[in-house]
Chain A
């Protein structure tokens, strides 16, 4: 029952707030939309400049599929305030991830990713920001290796790189004023297999650079 209510809340939130704000007030130039995975197990590896990144991804999904998309988000940030925590967990449907855990070698990585694996087994699509944080507007920060540890033992999961550009102009980190700017979203091809964490990071950086070049508003910089 709770699940049904949460799913309904999510659909309402996406239909009434996310889609109108993102598609009309903000506006998107979308490329490669047909490559977006509507069913899991799959991971969308997107660059991160703004909280709007997540909303943009939701706006691309048909309402019947929005519950499949699960953003993986920092537990320390999103669970600190009870109201935001409730909203993040029940309406957005985030999978909380402890950022501290990754630096502690003694902590088992499998344990850390338990929620992620559960969702993938359930056929969900994870939304992961491999940069770990929003960083400077319109700059891709150094990619972290967490994504590698999550999927190294999973053969069933495809990774789709997605580049968003321009959101750092519309709502950069630390700013409260939302200013409409059209943003680019480019969905890339599925990543090939990789053997080591450095290889994945390299592969992903290359893909991001490639996708960035097909962003219309990138030339504006």
Chain B
């Protein structure tokens, strides 16, 4: 049965997230009702997209770990495709790009098998070696270094990093009252809440620019405000949803907040380099899938290894 295998605490966490979303939707309606002459299309689209994201995520989480693994494999596919579409690729490398896509089912198969050793080296070692090898067989040397680097980087960002979220589902033991779903929700919620907190603190108190060349709107006040908020929240939630103690939870929150910041600005730098505003238009009001996943690219592996080192 759908949702029946989700541990109790994770069900409560899901209900809480839906409550947050309902509140946000009501606030959005009030704002646009009070200012009828202003255009809130983007805000409306953004909220509606959140409903879709949460609905899909919860649906797949509810169907169990295999379904969740397939779900994140598909997310990796969309993200990799989006990345490869905005960066330049050589026409001669079409076969190699195809090989990069093949890495997705393989990587998630290791996840499904909970074959940790393979999961952790497949892309950093084997794919790393495979990409230039396949390129050599084609024989095009013009732009070789850039092409090999770009392709491997793309798979590291969109497949290797993202697959860590799925691996949280197959970790044995841990906090049995929340399960793997608890870890996934903990990570995803804190990462997205960190984006919101940094933005809100920045809007409220922002004075000193932190990294003006990349993101002119990011401030020290926003960053530190987010760091404090997420560290506190993470510590409070940790014993409930994860195997972490409260103290370890504070550290996890610190890692998620700082990591999320860097994921965000790394993808911002990519966009600046390519002179584009959004990576795509898959998610109305958000941009492309990479625009939504940017922080997770950093937080997922960092959080995973923190938890893995301490408890598995």
Contact = CB atoms under 8 A, between A and B. Distances in A.
Interface in A153-179: 166, 169, 172, 175, 177, 179
Say whether chain B's binding surface is mostly helix, strand, loop, or mixed.
helix
Given A27-B78, A27-B81, A216 B276 contact: yes
A59 to B, nearest CB: 15
Interface in B97-124: 97-98, 101
A220 B81 contact: no
Contacts of B280: 27, 29, 182, 216
A14 to B, nearest CB: 21
Interface centre among A27, A179, A221 (most CB of B within 10 A): A179
B101 A180 contact: yes
Contacts of B282: 27
A interface, size bucket? 10 to 19
A182 B278 CA distance: 14
A30 interface: yes
Interface in B68-94: 77-78, 81-82, 84-89, 91, 94
A219 B274 contact: yes
Contacts of A182: 81-82, 85, 280
B140 to A, nearest CB: 15
Say whether chain A's binding surface is mostly helix, strand, loop, or mixed.
loop
A219 B86 contact: yes
B98 A181 contact: no
A177 B86 contact: no
A217 interface: yes
Nearest to B84: A181
Contact of B91 (A30, A137, A166, A183): A137
A181 B275 contact: no
B23 interface: no
Contact of A180 (B81, B86, B87, B95): B81
B281 interface: yes
Contact of B86 (A30, A175, A216): A216
B98 A217 contact: no
A180 B158 CA distance: 15
A187 B91 CA distance: 26
Interface string A21-48: 0000001011000000000000000000
A219 B280 CA distance: 12
A109 B34 CA distance: 62
A10 B116 CA distance: 47
B89 A169 contact: yes
Interface of A: 27, 29-30, 137, 166, 169, 172, 175, 177, 179-183, 216-217, 219-221
Interface of B: 77-78, 81-82, 84-89, 91, 94-95, 97-98, 101, 274-276, 278, 280-282
23 contacts: A27-B85, A27-B280, A27-B282, A29-B280, A175-B94, A177-B94, A177-B95, A179-B94, A180-B77, A180-B101, A181-B89, A181-B97, A182-B81, A182-B280, A216-B276, A216-B278, A217-B85, A217-B86, A220-B85, A220-B86, A220-B88, A220-B274, A221-B88
